[in-house]
Amino acid sequence: MKRFGTDEVDVCIIGSGAGGGPLALTLARAGCSVVILEKGPWYKAEDFTHDEIAISRRDFFVPYPSAEPHLLSRKQGDPLEPSSLGWTANCVGGGTVHMSGYVFRLHPEDFALANRYRGIPGHTLADWPITYQELAPYYDMVEREVGVSGKAGEYPFEPPRAGPYPFPPLAFNPLAARVDDACKKLGLHPFQTPRAIVSSAADGRSACVYCNYCGSFGCEVNAKSSTAASVIPKAIATDHCELRDGCMAYEIATDKEGRATAVRYITKTGERVEQKARVICVAATAIESARLLLASKSAAHPDGLGNKSGLVGKNLSFSTLAKVYGALERAALPDAERADHPIHFLQRSLQDDYFVKGRKGYDKGGTIVFQLAHRSAVYTAERLARRRTPLLWGEALKREIFRAYKDVIELEAEVFGEFLPNPHTFVALDASTKDKWGLAVAAIHVDNHPEDVAVSRVLADKARAVLEAAGARQLGSEAVGGTTFVLQHGTARFGDDKKTSVLDRHCKSHEVPNLYVTDGSFMPSSGGVPSTLTIMANSFRVGAHLAALRRNGALR
Amino acid sequence: MKASRRELLLGTAALGAAAIAGNACNEKPKLPEDDPRYQGLLFLVPIEARTVDAWIEQLLPADHPPGTPGARAANVLLYIDKQLAQKHFTTIARGVRRAAVILQRAAVAQGAAHFADLDAPAQRVLLERLQQNQLAAFAEKTNTAKTFDTVLLLALEGYLGDPSYGGNKDQIVWRALGDSPACPKPLDANAHRHGHHE
Ligand SMILES: Cc1cc2nc3c(=O)[nH]c(=O)nc-3n(C[C@H](O)[C@H](O)[C@H](O)COP(=O)(O)OP(=O)(O)OC[C@H]3O[C@@H](n4cnc5c(N)ncnc54)[C@H](O)[C@@H]3O)c2cc1C
């Protein structure tokens, strides 16, 4: 890997996940000198075992709140409490390393929701300054460069696309046919869930081996399309990109005119270092990027970097979450479906209610993803215990655990909906609490808009009807109207008006001419899908803009 | 020449059981806590270990469903003790210690010598009260509900997690469930592609 030292490079990117990786590749290919600073360690595929305790129940991916707390208030008026929620990851590749990899495009209507819901009070949605058509080519680029498997043209509500997916759809469990039949009975249009997992070998990566350990685990064969498995190695191979892991950026330095000059960071060994760069791109997640900008105060930027509008950290949105489940009794299934099939993917989704038919007023729905319950044993048992308040234990819990493995196959639906941004959901810097480096932490204030919670219920009921029609019994739900904290947006929203947005249409700060933000912060609305594909596509889009500037000698 | 510790130990053994038995009237009575399972743990002292052992066996009792292992058979106590000894579990460990004392006090108040000497239903009643924060007999605020939940989650880890941490001994629980997190051999994906549609 090329080493640049701390003299001025073309671009310094903070964060190596969905928002940072595609940008790094585009810029490195354009010949820019690129330094990526990533606070977490650089894991290799062989570090990703199926040891559930180490990988998904300790601080392998997400820091302990004792070391790097967030403060979280889950409802307006509730006190702030230390939490690890709000972290997506802490490693090279960010949250893309241990995501499940359900990746969907936004729909064209998502770009103009403020207009559509003018009449609904209490939200702070804004229209996007770009259209679906402007983003679409970059969706294609993610699907190709990062690697997405799927099948185009299966359902009438599919967002427009130029052609087939670059990787054929993944294989699935025979029980998917039940979900198909159930949906069809109900007049719905299921489609195969697009996944950021390669179904055939590419770029030195193996095809998926269907080990069934995707969400909350890293991929041991690099089939999952994390940025660490896909774009980052390609960026490094250009010899124009250096990645420094274990480097925590804590301040962006500026000159008298208010231009960004350098990133200050703390290394693994505790050294404080300053990396100079012509252009600085922040991609540390919507929460951590806001924290960094708010912490970067100077005479020119007394309220935080690029924050004259006061909007940095405001308009935080997540994704609403509902989870519905039901059990198929093995004994009642035909032989072909009863046995444990080696493939655990169900690979079915629904977007019939991306806009809820027949709902008056607020009708923004979302996406239902069907899956077989994850087989991680501790996770399974914990979930069963948590289905009762207080937690279930003793004979009853043990019977449930053994039943889950021996007697039933559990079908699940996860529902992702628009999270309406509102005045009570935001990130602020809280100097009363410090992390292990002594830095002020992010305080996350959350409040749900009643309309998005109501729609989450409608979608959960729809999912429940499908599970029931598929033969599942003992239906239940978790977290209806809940929040998916790993999907984060809005804290530096883009727009054409500098009074109502932090970034311009190229994700450049309205106030700091060489500062860009490329994680989910730019998104003025969350979308009714998990957002990683959109963050990656936008990262490629901003990269293309910067690469064009470089070609014209205007990168500064 | 000074005798090495090993020689001393061997020497004692060589005296034989009879010699020790002959001295019995000078020995303290053997306590249940002297059970070798409760000796030499990293965090829990024997009397606490005995409480926690009984506690987690109630969380994950053997033979429900019939023939399935309980927490004890899976060595969950060893797992929990190792976890509690870790630095980042310091606060939790303190809570567990406090909860063990609270359970022990409640048992003594019922005339038992030790929590573990109560019969299973009586243990469960106390644990239910612990889970509902109704057992703290002390003036200081102790959130035993939170501790109870944490012990349950740790017990599940020790029961169902990787055996390398000391629990799930010999994969006893994975074998009983008929499932383990081993990665299957790379598949001939084409044989399964599109499930049973093809
Ligand atoms: C278990 C799990 C499952 C998920 N499943 C899905 C899914 O199925 N579909 C989907 O679309 N999304 C999913 N996600 C969400 C997905 O991970 C995020 O949307 C995506 O990673 C966000 O991109 P990002 O660039 O904002 O943040 P990340 O990809 O997390 O990258 C941010 C990086 O910045 C680093 N960083 C932060 N602060 C600093 C600093 N000060 N200095 C240096 N580095 C810093 C972090 O360590 C991190 O590596 C999942 C997430 C998790 C955790």
pLDDT single digits (tens) B62-82? 999 999 999 999 999 999 999
pLDDT band, residue B18 (cuts 50/70/90): very low
Residues 6+ apart with CB under 8 A from A223: A197, A198, A205, A206, A207, A208, A209, A229
pLDDT at B184: 53
Per-residue pLDDT of chain A (556 residues), as tens digits, is 999 999 999 999 999 999 999 999 999 999 999 999 999 999 999 999 999 999 999 999 999 999 999 999 999 999 999 999 999 999 999 999 999 999 999 999 999 999 999 999 999 999 999 999 999 999 999 999 999 999 999 999 999 999 999 999 999 999 999 999 999 999 999 999 999 999 999 999 999 999 999 999 999 999 999 999 999 999 999 999 999 999 999 999 999 999 999 999 999 999 999 999 999 999 999 999 999 999 999 999 999 999 999 999 999 999 999 999 999 999 999 988 887 888 999 999 999 999 999 999 999 999 999 999 998 999 999 999 999 999 999 999 999 999 999 999 999 999 999 999 999 999 999 999 999 999 999 999 999 999 999 999 999 999 999 999 999 999 999 888 899 999 999 999 999 999 999 999 999 999 999 999 999 999 999 999 999 999 999 999 999 999 999 999 999 8
**How far apart, in whole angstroms, are the C-alpha atoms of residue A137 and residue B146?**
50
Residue B113, amino acid: A
Nearest CA in chain A to B174: A377
Give B172→chain A minimum CA distance, Å. 13
Task: Give the pLDDT score at B193.
Answer: 39
Between the two ends of chain B, the Cα-to-Cα distance in Å is: 82
Q: Could you tell me which residues come within 8 angstroms of residue A524 by beta carbon, excluding any fewer than 6 positions away? A: A114, A125, A126, A127, A128, A315, A421, A490, A493, A494, A495, A501
Per-residue burial over B127-160, b if 16 or more Cβ lie within 10 Å, else e, is bbbbbebebbeeeeebebbebbbbbbbbbbbbbb
Residues, chain A: 556
Identify the pLDDT of residue B181. 87
Task: State residue B31's pLDDT score.
Answer: 85
Which residue's CA is the nearest one to ligand 1's atom 19? A532
Give Cα separations from A145 to A106, A141, A171, A537 (angstroms): 19, 6, 21, 10
Tokens 């606070």 -> residue: A39
pLDDT of amino acid B7: 36
Nearest Cα to Cα of residue A364 among A75, A74, A191, A112? A112
Q: How many residues does chain B have?
A: 198
Structure tokens that stand for A501 in this block: 């947005």
The tokens describing A389, both together, are 């308040």
For chain A, give percent helix, strand, coil, nearest 5. 25, 25, 50
SS3 call for B145: helix
Higher pLDDT, B15 or A287: A287
Q: A260: closest CA among A275, A273, A247?
A: A275
Q: What pLDDT, on a 0 to 100 scale, did the predictor assign at position A338?
A: 84
The overall pTM is greater than 0.90: yes
**Cβ within 8 Å, pair B65-A399:** yes
**CA dist A394 to A397, A401, B127, Å?**
5, 11, 10
Which site among A200, A398, A407 would you substitute to test the B interface, given the most B Cβ atoms closer than 10 Å to its Cβ? A398
Residue among A171, A177, A398 minimizing CB distance to B60:
A398
Q: For each of the domains in chain A, give its residue range(s) and CATH number, in order of start.
A: 9-551 (3.50.50.60)
Q: Sort residue A436 into left (φ over 0), alpha (ψ -120 to 50) or beta.
A: alpha
Contact B160 A395 (CB under 8 A): no
Residue A472 Cβ inside 6 Å of ligand 1? The answer reads no
With b for 16 or more beta-carbon neighbours within 10 A and e for fewer, the A487-518 pattern comes to bbbbbbbbbeebeebbbbbbbbbbbbebbbbb
Check whether B25 has a pLDDT greater than 80. Answer: no
The helix/strand/coil state of B171 is: helix
Reference A326, options A477, A457, A187; nearest CA is: A477
A317 Cα to chain B: minimum distance (Å) = 30
Phi, psi of A291 (to 5 degrees): -60, -45
Chain A residues within an 8 Å CB radius of B124: 394
H or E element: which one contains B9?
helix B5-22
What ipTM is given for this predicted complex? 0.95
How many interface pairs between A and B have CB atoms less than 8 angstroms apart? 128
What does the pLDDT read at residue B195?
A: 36
Alpha carbon A96 to its chain centroid, in Å, reads 7
CB A241 within 8 A of CB A22: no
| Mean pLDDT on B8-13 | 36
- A486 CA to middle of ligand 1, Å? 7
Q: What gap in Å lies between CA A134 and CA A128, rounded to an integer?
A: 11
Tokens of B82: 């190792």
Cα separation, B54 vs B49, whole angstroms? 9
A509 vs A304: CA distance, rounded Å: 12
User: Would strands A241-244 and A34-37 be described as parallel, antiparallel, or unpaired?
Assistant: parallel
B185 has pLDDT over 80: no
B175's enclosing H/E stretch is helix B172-177
Distance CA B57, CA B51 (A): 10
Q: Which two tokens stand for residue A480?
A: 């209806």
Residues forming a β-bridge with A320: A417, A483
**Confidence at B21, pLDDT banded by 50, 70, 90:** very low
Query: How open is the CA angle A433-A274-A494, to the nearest 5 degrees?
Result: 70
DSSP SS3 for A413: strand
Q: Cβ(A73)–Cβ(A81) under 8 Å?
A: yes
List the beta bridge partners of residue A555. none
